[in-house]
Amino acid sequence: MPEKKINGNRMHYQLDGPEEGMVVLFSNSLGADLTMWDAVVNELTPSLRVLRYDTRGHGQTPALPPPVTIADLGEDVIALLNELAIPKVHFCGLSMGGLIGQWLAIHHPERIDKLILSNTAAKIGTNVSWNERIDTVRRYGLSDVANAALDRWLTPEFREQHPAVRDHWVNRFRETDDQGYAACCMAIRNADFREDLHQIKAPTLIIAGTHDPVTTVTDGQFMQQAIPDAQLVELPAAHLSAVESADAFARTLNTFLAEPELSPNQPTYEAGMAARRAVLGDAHVDRANAGTTDFTTDFQDFITRYAWGEIWTRPGLSRHARSLITLGMLIALNRETEFKMHVRAALNNGVTMDEIKEVIMHSALYCGLPAANAAFHAASEVLNNPEK
């Protein structure tokens, strides 16, 4: 595969797609390489041109001696674009790649068209946690932290259902250069863009994982509030959402990159559709879209933009909390069909069966016994046949 000499280092990259297409540049997370984007790239709009690269010390790009900063990693990107004569890109970075994207959008805004920040934060972790990890890697190597890393990267359910994927990423992680990994840990430790996010002017999409313990939904909400007119989409995944929710990730990117820039505060269709699919499930949304007629098109667009694109993506409440509140209100209003739909949605949002039971028990007190009795019957139908 092609390589370029970048800032004194040999950089491995891959460039695919039509020469006339707009370039989407993907930047990998700590401990991964450019193959982390494979499933996403396969589902992208064919007219896009895709550029991927291995960050220093990752994949097939050798490490350089420390110290390394996020600015250094960002300048690597600028140098690569210059070598390839690419003036401007859509940039998508996950975790460490997201920090690189923030730096680029702040310091080289002329090179960024649209910005996607996935499973990242303006400040990731603490100095203490990073120092401990750096010390462990230097003493014992990456094998000692590989399993713990995968526990954070993928949800337990995904790891159990896809053991080959888990094993693949454990091996990729262990193959990462120890020195390069530690150097990038130092770069992440020292990066803090909390006071600089307001300088980002590129249209920005933030992708957060509902179950991400590393860079949480709250971290994504902070960035959304700090970056002018940024949009937030939450996917049902842990830290490596581009692997665990690749199809939803790709759909979100395709819609965001295709949609024209909107006026400030206008709810976006792509954020709404992504939220709608994540909460209600693809099957439900596909059925709704298939049943759309000329008579109902405007209403479906309204639901997607305002109900899902504005309310369900607001930063004040998690999806888990919104599901519980929605169930309670639907019980009170005796909306059985919607209640059943949102029982399924609640399960997608991590709500447990016990929590659903407690909502219904609470409704018995404030909405009345008949309402609670009906809710228990309706919920039981869904819980006993979750695929229907």
Nearest by Cα to 227 from 65, 101, 367, 378: 101
Nearest by Cα to 186 from 226, 132, 252, 141: 132
The predicted structure's pLDDT at residue 387: 63
Provide CB contacts within 8 A for 62, sequence distance 6+: 9, 10, 56, 177, 180
The predicted structure's pLDDT at residue 7: 74
The predicted structure's pLDDT at residue 264: 45
Q: Which amino acid is at 138?
A: R
Q: What is the 3-state secondary structure (H, E, C) of 138-190?
A: HHHCHHHCHHHHHHHHCCHHHHHHCHHHHHHHHHHHHHCCHHHHHHHHHHHHH
The answer to whether residues 242 and 381 touch, using CB atoms and an 8 Å cutoff, is no
299 HSE (CA, 13 A, CB side) = 8
pLDDT digits 0-9 by tens, 285-331: 888 888 889 899 999 889 888 888 888 877 677 778 899 999 999 99
The predicted structure's pLDDT at residue 259: 65
The predicted structure's pLDDT at residue 280: 87
The predicted structure's pLDDT at residue 333: 94
The predicted structure's pLDDT at residue 1: 56
Relative to beta strand 9-16, strand 3-6 is antiparallel
Could you give phi then psi for residue 46, rounded to 5 degrees? -60, -25
Nearest by Cα to 135 from 68, 192, 181: 181
pLDDT digits 0-9 by tens, 327-378: 999 999 999 999 999 999 888 877 888 899 999 999 999 999 999 999 999 9
What's the Cα-to-Cα distance from 105 to each of 12, 112, 186, rounded to whole Å?
A: 23, 6, 21
Tokens 């890109």, residue? Answer: 89
- Measured between its terminal Cα atoms, the distance across the chain in Å is 46
Could you give phi then psi for residue 121, rounded to 5 degrees? -155, 165
The answer to whether residues 7 and 79 touch, using CB atoms and an 8 Å cutoff, is yes
For 342-358, letters b (16+ CB in 10 Å) and e give bbbbbbbbebeeeebee
Domains assigned to the chain: 3-258 (3.40.50.1820), 269-311 (no CATH), 319-384 (1.20.1290.10)
Provide CB contacts within 8 A for 350, sequence distance 6+: 210, 211, 319, 320
The predicted structure's pLDDT at residue 263: 44
Relative to beta strand 9-16, strand 49-53 is antiparallel
Tokens 């959402």, residue? Answer: 241
In this prediction the pTM is 0.73
Q: What's the rounded Cα separation, in Å, for the pair 308 and 315?
A: 13
The answer to whether residues 173 and 59 touch, using CB atoms and an 8 Å cutoff, is no
**How buried is residue 4: exposed, middle or buried, by Cβ count under 10 Å (0-12/13-18/19+)?**
middle
User: What residue ranges of the chain have pLDDT lower than 70?
Assistant: 1, 259-267, 315, 386-388
The answer to whether residues 355 and 254 touch, using CB atoms and an 8 Å cutoff, is no
Provide CB contacts within 8 A for 182, sequence distance 6+: 66, 134, 137, 138
Helix (H, G, I), strand (E, B), or coil: what is residue 205?
strand
